[in-house]
Amino acid sequence: MLRYSFVAISIVAVINLLLTEVFLVQILLAICVVISLGIAIIWPEPLPPPPPPDLWSDAPETKDRETKICSSCGKAVDKKWSMCPYCSKRV
């Protein structure tokens, strides 16, 4: 919304620039047009609002896959695996 107000200011300044005959006022209006258009162009977009706190569900209490412990390195591997991916020994 702030970007649109700077564009509106520059449009009003251009209209005043075309209607005035005083040289000092024309210089000031030209500076106003340049500055307001510059601000309207480089002004950053506002960040979107944060998501509501109840957007994410709670993590499931049980794991989806069943695991077993490797007898040589002690790390958890899938129950269907025959070799440990960490130590390359048979499970």
- Binned average pLDDT, 10 residues per bin, the chain of 91 residues: 88 93 93 92 83 73 77 87 87 79
Q: For residues 43 and 4, is the Cβ–Cβ distance under 8 A?
A: no
Q: Which letter does DSSP use for residue 47 in this model?
A: P
Q: Residue 7's closest CA among 28, 35, 30, 37?
A: 37
Taking the C-alpha atoms of residue 1 and residue 37, their distance in angstroms, rounded to an integer, is 14
pLDDT of residue 60: 65
Other CB atoms within a 10 A radius of the CB of residue 71 amount to 11
Tokens of 11: 């449009």
